[in-house]
């Protein structure tokens, strides 16, 4: 894992830790789904339509260009 990936994971961790209400419920549902399917939470979160991930998704796309 490179430095930029670690930074994005840190931001994702922070979003999860600070989430409340509906955002937290959506994150919990995604977490449960990924545990049941064996998929990566990070990958599924980045590809999801959750509103809380928009800034991370934008930053991730910018770093991969």
Mean pLDDT of the chain: 80
How far apart (Å, rounded) are the C-alpha atoms in residues 46 and 56?
A: 8
Question: At 45, is the secondary structure helix, strand, or coil?
Answer: helix
Residue 38 has pLDDT above 70, yes or no: yes
Asked if residues 56 and 15 have their Cβ atoms less than 8 Å apart, the reply is yes
35 DSSP 8-state letter: H
What is the mean pLDDT of the segment spanning 16-37? 89
Please state, in angstroms and rounded to a whole number, the distance separating the CA atoms of residues 31 and 58.
21
How much is the pLDDT for 60? Answer: 62
- Has residue 39 got a pLDDT over 60? yes
Q: pTM of the entire structure?
A: 0.65
Return the CA Rg of the chain: 12
């Amino acid at each position: 894992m490179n430095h930029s990936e670690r930074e994005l994971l840190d931001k994702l961790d922070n979003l999860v830790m600070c989430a409340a209400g509906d955002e937290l419920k959506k994150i919990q549902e995604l977490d449960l789904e990924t545990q049941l399917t064996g998929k990566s939470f990070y990958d599924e979160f980045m590809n999801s339509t959750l509103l809380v991930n928009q800034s991370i998704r934008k930053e991730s796309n910018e770093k991969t260009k």
